[in-house]
Structures are given as C-alpha cells and as structure tokens.
Structure 1
Amino acid sequence: MVNYKGTRSKGFASLLVVLCLFALVQVALAANPISFCKCICGQEKTITALPRDTQHPIFGGSSKACLACTKQYCLDNKPDMCKGVGTGEGDELITTCFERDSYKDQFIVYLFLTITFGLLGFATLQPFLKGLWQRRQQHAYTSMPM
C-alpha cells in the first residue's frame, strides 16, 4: 500500500514556495522603472530612454539617470534638432526627465494580480481540499468498539 499523505503535503509546500518566489520576482522587476528624457525645441519633441548602466558614474540608478538628461545629451542624440529655430545653438531647447511607471502604481497592479490569482487558485482547489477535510474528519471520529 502506498502512502500519499507525505507527498501531497510536500507538493503543496513546494507549490507555495514557487508562488512566493514568483511574487518576489515580480516585486524585484517592479523596483526598476525606466527613466526617459524629453527634449523639446519649438514644435519638435523627442523622447529617448535613458540607459540604466550601473557601472557608469552618471547612470548609477533611476534617480541619477535623470542627471544625464541635459541639453547636450539631447543635441548628441539628435544634432539637427534646433537648427530651424532661433540661433540653432540649443538655447531654445527644454529638457524634462520622467519615469514611465512609479513604484506605487506597479505595487497596486501586482497586488491586484496576486490577490486575483490567489483567489482563483483557492476556488480551483476548494473542492479537493473540502473532500480531503471530510475524509480526515471521518477517520478522526470513528466510533470505538465497547
């Protein structure tokens, strides 16, 4: 006779560990938003993603990446940007740095997804768990012979 009691609990525990690791990976991915540099000169607008090189002294992190969004950065990426406006030296150039996603927005989305998938998983496993619980209760409360 094969005992499945230990393998079921090990399988459930390993499933729980995998789900927890998946949640941690999602949080780690959410902790690295992308910074963008918006260059505006007259009617012309250009948006470029700032690099996230951790070895570079300027691009150390997302807060330091915005330090690279300068007029020179915009002119290096697109040299003919301000040629038709004013003097063409980049005096009319306006730079703005922004992040596409904030930590709060990503946290709310991932929390919603985790709760939704958790509830769907529980609803899927509920009949199996209910039957398991009933079988366990029947074995625990059998009448003893007198």
Structure 2
Amino acid sequence: MLRFHHLLLLFLGILTSLATAASAPLFCKCTCFKNSTLIQLSGAQASCTQCTHAFCLSQNLPICKDVVTAPDNANANAEVFSTCIQRDSRKDQIIVWGFILGTTGLLGWAAAKRIDEMRRQGKKAAVTPNRTPYAPLPAASD
C-alpha cells in the first residue's frame, strides 16, 4: 500500500511539472476589414508584444492586400485589428487526459473486482455443488 502511494505521488509530481513547464502556443489574430486569420508566434522569445498592426501588415496576408497597396496608408490602423490569443493550453490538455485516464482506471478497477468476485464465487460453488444459493420458502398452509 505504501508503494502505491509513492507511485501516485511520483505520477502527480511529473504531471505537475509538465503542466507548469509547458507553455501554451501564442497566436496573433489579424483582422483586416471583416476577415481574420491566425498566425502562430514562433521562436523562443515569442510574446504578445509581437502582435501589432505592423506585424499583421508585414505578413503580406491576402486578406490585407487592399490595405497594404492603398496609396494613403493612414487608414491602415483603422482597418487592421490585431489580438494576441492562446489556444490549446498544455495544462488544459493534461487535465483532460488525466481525467480520462483516471476514469478509465477506476472503471477498469471496478470491472476487475467484479470479475474476481465472480471467479471466487465460482470456486466456492465447485467445492460444494449440492448447496443451493437460496433457502426454499415453507409451503403456505391454508
């Protein structure tokens, strides 16, 4: 039993370290006019400060083509919106997978216990085959 607790603590420690060490990928949502696209911010120094109007315009996106080629680029800031977002957090993925694996483990444990009980009852029945598993009721008297 003590060994099980040590393994459980080790598993939870590894899970916690993975959740804190892994960072969620950052995306810059560039919206030009009414169309938008997501661009992943890559690199070791990726941060939300990179997601600016200039960043969106420097990507040469087809949806921003009319903004970039306009002769007066003064309206570009009014037509281009940038938003930094995080998607698919590693922590969220670990929590979901932990829940799924935990639930599956508990269901497997319950099934194994049930099979073990049925197997043990089968051995008892094989040892005493003449015994009935119930007591007959007395006949009703009128």
TM range (shorter): 0.5 to 0.7
Q: How does 1:1-146 map to 2 (within 5 A)?
A: 17=7, 21=11, 24=14, 28=18, 31-51=22-42, 53-54=43-44, 56=45, 59=46, 65-78=47-60, 81-85=63-67, 87-88=72-73, 90-91=76-77, 92-102=79-89, 105-106=92-93, 108-126=95-113, 127-128=115-116
Q: Tell me if structure 2 keeps the 8 A contact 1:75–1:81.
A: no
Q: Tell me if structure 1 keeps the 8 A contact 2:52–2:82.
A: yes
Q: Tell me if structure 1 keeps the 8 A contact 2:19–2:91.
A: no
Q: Which runs of 5+ in 1 are unaligned?
A: 1-8, 60-64, 133-146
Q: Tell me if structure 2 keeps the 8 A contact 1:23–1:114.
A: no
Report the Cα offset of residue 120 of structure 1: 2.5
Report the Cα offset of residue 40 of structure 1: 0.8
Q: Which runs of 5+ in 2 are unaligned?
A: 121-142
Report the Cα offset of residue 38 of structure 1: 0.5
Q: Tell me if structure 1 keeps the 8 A contact 2:53–2:80.
A: yes
Distance 1:68 1:38 in 2: 11
Q: What secondary structure, in the 3-state scheme, does the structure 2 residue paired with 1:84 have?
A: helix
Q: CA RMSD in A?
A: 4.1
Percent identical pairs in the alignment equals: 31
CA 1:113–1:80: 2 relative to 1, 3 Å: closer
- For this pair of structures, how many residues does the alignment match? 111
Q: Tell me if structure 2 keeps the 8 A contact 1:27–1:107.
A: no
Q: Tell me if structure 1 keeps the 8 A contact 2:23–2:89.
A: no
TM-score relative to the length of structure 2:
0.53
Report the Cα offset of residue 72 of structure 1: 2.1
TM-score relative to the length of structure 1:
0.52
